[in-house]
Structure 1
Amino acid sequence: MSAPTTVSQPATRSADLLVEGRAGTPGLRTVPVPGDKSITHRALLASLLPGAGPRLHIRGGNPGGAVRALLPALAALGYGVETTAGALTIHRGRLPVPQPIRPHPGVAHWPDLPYLYTEGSSAAARLLVGVLAGAGPAAIVDGDDVLRDRPMDWLVAPLAALGAHIDYLGAHGRLPVAVHGPVLHGGEVTLAVGSAQARAAVLLAAVAAELPLTVHVPVFSRDHTERMLTAFGSRLERTALAVHYRGGRCTVPAELEVPADPSLAAYPVAAQLLGGAGAVRVPDVCLNPTRLGFFATLRAAGADIAYVDERRSALGEPVGTIVARGGLTGVERLTVDDPATLHAAIDEVPLLVALAAALPGESWLGCAGELRFKETDRLRTSTAMAAAFGADVAVVHDGIRVRGGRPLRAGTVPGFEDHRVAMAAATLAGALPGRTTVLGGACHRTSFPGFAAALRAAGAVVTEDGS
């Protein structure tokens, strides 16, 4: 039985996407995607570390809304931000730009501190808290109503254990927070979850404070922070379930280049597999193993996906071209049943659900409890999205079961103002006859402003709001 589609839509709505499916396009197509969102956030925040110079130039950064949400916060801390085509330049030492304060309802005392508003970007908020708790000035970190409902105790509790003074100004464990004082000592902390943002925030605090630290984790997720800090000269070691930072100052280069985002490369690859004709290549993609769970799951199921032209970037990231050929013929089901694979595919689970709906067998995407704390509860919103196409899909404990083989149909599909869910819906719609309306689908601009063009390259007809 299909999952119910009773998940509430948010009060604010992006424009809808109208997608008309077409047959796959023959031949080899090259589809570039933007820079990696996670690495861009970390590169921007490197400008706040003690080892940064007066100017940091970042090429190839992600241009989406989640990254742009960090720029006013940098300005409020006194950093000048220049944006040009394909580049961001951060200057230290400009005058702070006053930010409008949006007090949280019910907060009796709002401290007179710089106000850093990060819209809906959890990465911007969490990593900012970490850097501020390391060496930054006292400040308030806040976000929109959706971000104010996402957990922050994952990182605030270990930072407080290291002596940081962080106050919740509203509900306990939620934004807004006031970071009053830095960490006072190194030591050891144990994180309750495998969240890469929580681990990165704590590590950035230690590096900013130049204090030794060991971080124990239940499972390793994306390790961009460790690779970046190692490339900057930090003394980091990784053991089975821990990261050890030996202390001391790192040196941030004046020039950084961000590789393309594997989570965004997943969409043209999925469109290729659903369409079936020809092949697609996505160049200059970050091939960090902690980010390749989507591709690994499909390769294990029999999809023809290869990595070519591999090399290593100055940020310590493996980089190469992803090539996908043919379609889903011979692929019966998709299976994710271990935490490491799930974390390596955590942003692509909605897309895996969409692909699984097009397969004949029964798929299982498990170990996914953390998806309840993303921009939406992605266990519920992913199943509701797939069910709107006619899929037999359900949330079972901490995972999603998809029973394939049912006919899928175009129609009206919820996007939930969640860019991952909306892009997954539009990608599946591009392989179905007829017109699909993805409600609020233009929220893809959060991470992938060129998403519609990528779908058109696969043969779909995509318009916004009927225009």
Structure 2
Amino acid sequence: MLRGSFELIGDKSISHRAIMFSSISKGKNKISNFLMGQDCLSTIDCFRKMGVEIEINDKDVFVKGNGLYGLKKPSDILDVGNSGTTIRLISGILAGNNFEATLVGDESIAKRPMKRVTDPLRLMGCNIEGNDDANYTPITIYGGNLKAIDYKMQVASAQVKSALILASLYADGKSIIHEKVKSRNHTEIMLKSFGADISVEDLSITINPVNELFSQDINVAGDISSAAFIIVGALISEGSEVIIKNVGLNKTRTGILDVVKNMNGNIEILNERFVSGELVGDLLVRYSPNLTSTIIDKDIIPRLIDEIPVISILATQAEGTTIIKDAKELKVKESNRIKVMVDNLKLMGADIEELEDGMVIKGKTKLKGANIETFKDHRIAMAFSIAELISDGYVKLDDEDCVNVSFPGYFDLLKQLSK
């Protein structure tokens, strides 16, 4: 049972972008409610190595921006740690700067495909070298002298889109990027506030280069991807009632809320408001004993791609057959999240089948305790910590520390709400 209320930690996607855009703006920036997770700290480390002054004070970060063309050649190799957002977005910035930089990361990053970013950056005239024709790290980018691009996205990815938007700031003319499906749009919202010449019409984003970006103070909305674990925990754990404050409600990220409503989950949005250009609100979530199955596919997948591991836990407690498909992107996250969720849930007694691009889950099922292999994937670890709330027996995670990349203090919060 989960009961209580809490203020949600800062959004990981927005925190990354706040550091990056502040670093290439002119002037002093204050970032409030910054997520002090390892991934976001990796972004800070990379920009410090390029000469940006960044000061951390509790949950606030102060950035003295170097300006659009003021970054310096890195003093060392840029290590992104476990952060896919860092390596992909920073590639777009590096492509526009007239120096050489090498990117590396941990074992997980070394397996994550980069040609989805490096190929279109090469079309813009950037010279990039790396393993397997710059598909894997280490990757070296020789930046500068970019050409404008009119590019149709090959994958539905906010990371790839954002990398190309950032590179387009440095190009020699108007660039247009066409999305396959609408993906999270934090980059477009925030860059516009920094003075970028960027416009959006349907699935097309138009960017004109500018001479400079200008400093902004940013209050980071709470991370709905982190809230998702507590949401599911409250829905499936008898007697639960939780209020989650300051949740980001950007429409490109709220697929989890649509799914919960479709599954007959008891959730309300309270106190909606705008903070730093982003819609936020408070969520009231109650135990929902009459959950029903649903189908998750195509258009909604980019709006909840990070939440699918915990949604699969939710589906085990819903009457009927839940189908998740069109989610191949899950295979190239920190782990192959389709296979990892299916294998581990089978150990817990779930009726689940792996698909090429998703999974089929039949409920309602009583879960039992098991030893869980997380593959050092934060979202896998948190998903199975929620499964333990309703399992008959102890769920042992082989790695709890991996959660710190996105949700430091998560297990303490879970313990606090479980009292």
Distance, in Å, in 2 between the alignment partners of 1:276 and 1:296 is: 22
* Post-superposition offset of 1:209: 4.4
> Partner of 1:236 in structure 2?
198
Distance, in Å, in 1 between the alignment partners of 2:99 and 2:65 is: 14
Distance, in Å, in 2 between the alignment partners of 1:359 and 1:195 is: 29
Contact 2:367 2:390 in 1 (8 A): no
User: Are 1:310 and 2:272 an aligned pair?
Assistant: yes
Deviations 1:155-174 (A, max 9, x none): 11111111122222565411
* Post-superposition offset of 1:459: 1.5
Corresponding letter in the other structure for 2:249 = L
* Post-superposition offset of 1:96: 7.4
Deviations 1:221-270 (A, max 9, x none): 11110111122232322233221123334633342211110001111111
1:328 partner SS: coil
User: Are 1:275 and 2:237 an aligned pair?
Assistant: yes
Distance, in Å, in 2 between the alignment partners of 1:152 and 1:334 is: 33
Corresponding letter in the other structure for 2:362 = R
The one of 179, 185, 188 equivalent to 1:226 is 188
> Partner of 1:83 in structure 2?
56
167-176 vs 196-205, which moves further: 167-176
The one of 17, 37, 45 equivalent to 1:64 is 37
> Partner of 1:13 in structure 2?
none
* Post-superposition offset of 1:376: 0.5
Contact 2:181 2:299 in 1 (8 A): yes
* Post-superposition offset of 1:176: 1.6
80-89 vs 168-177, which moves further: 168-177
* Post-superposition offset of 1:212: 1.9
Distance, in Å, in 1 between the alignment partners of 2:273 and 2:114 is: 36
Deviations 1:291-343 (A, max 9, x none): 111111011121111211111122x2111111112x23221213202x22111
The one of 246, 251, 260 equivalent to 1:289 is 251
Contact 2:370 2:395 in 1 (8 A): yes
* Post-superposition offset of 1:143: 1.2
User: Are 1:191 and 2:153 an aligned pair?
Assistant: yes
Distance, in Å, in 1 between the alignment partners of 2:343 and 2:414 is: 22
* Post-superposition offset of 1:433: 4.0
Distance, in Å, in 2 between the alignment partners of 1:69 and 1:404 is: 40
> Partner of 2:15 in structure 1?
40
Alpha-carbon distance change, 400 to 199 in structure 1, aligned in 2, over 3 angstroms:
same
Alpha-carbon distance change, 278 to 119 in structure 1, aligned in 2, over 3 angstroms:
closer
> Partner of 1:323 in structure 2?
284
2:7 partner SS: coil
Distance, in Å, in 1 between the alignment partners of 2:312 and 2:319 is: 13
Corresponding letter in the other structure for 1:47 = S
Alpha-carbon distance change, 430 to 249 in structure 1, aligned in 2, over 3 angstroms:
farther
1:319 partner SS: strand
Distance, in Å, in 2 between the alignment partners of 1:267 and 1:136 is: 42
The one of 430, 436, 447 equivalent to 2:395 is 436
Structure having greater relative contact order (Cα 8 Å, sep ≥ 6): 1
Deviations 1:346-379 (A, max 9, x none): 0010001111112231111111011111001111
Alpha-carbon distance change, 117 to 289 in structure 1, aligned in 2, over 3 angstroms:
same
Deviations 1:360-415 (A, max 9, x none): 31111111011111001111111122222111112112111111133211232222
Alpha-carbon distance change, 211 to 43 in structure 1, aligned in 2, over 3 angstroms:
farther
Deviations 1:46-67 (A, max 9, x none): 1332xx1243221111111111
Contact 2:291 2:317 in 1 (8 A): no
* Post-superposition offset of 1:279: 1.9
Question: What TM-score results when the alignment is normalised by the length of structure 2?
Answer: 0.93
Alpha-carbon distance change, 198 to 25 in structure 1, aligned in 2, over 3 angstroms:
closer
Corresponding letter in the other structure for 1:162 = M
Q: 1:104-119 residue pairs with structure 2 within 5 A?
A: 114-119=76-81
Percent of aligned positions that are identical = 27
Distance, in Å, in 1 between the alignment partners of 2:159 and 2:390 is: 34
> Partner of 1:448 in structure 2?
407
Q: 1:6-17 residue pairs with structure 2 within 5 A?
A: none
Q: 1:15-414 residue pairs with structure 2 within 5 A?
A: 24-25=1-2, 29-49=4-24, 52-92=25-65, 114-135=76-97, 137-169=99-131, 172-209=134-171, 211-249=173-211, 251-314=213-276, 316-325=277-286, 327-337=287-297, 339-414=298-373
Alpha-carbon distance change, 95 to 359 in structure 1, aligned in 2, over 3 angstroms:
closer
Distance, in Å, in 2 between the alignment partners of 1:98 and 1:178 is: 12
Deviations 1:108-151 (A, max 9, x none): xxxxxx41111121111111111111236321111122211111
* Post-superposition offset of 1:184: 2.2
Unaligned 5+ residue runs, structure 1? 1-23, 100-113, 461-467
Deviations 1:431-452 (A, max 9, x none): 2343221121231111001211
Corresponding letter in the other structure for 2:228 = A
Question: What TM-score results when the alignment is normalised by the length of structure 1?
Answer: 0.84
Q: Flag the structure with higher strand content.
A: 2
Contact 1:271 1:455 in 2 (8 A): no
Unaligned 5+ residue runs, structure 2? none
Contact 1:35 1:62 in 2 (8 A): yes
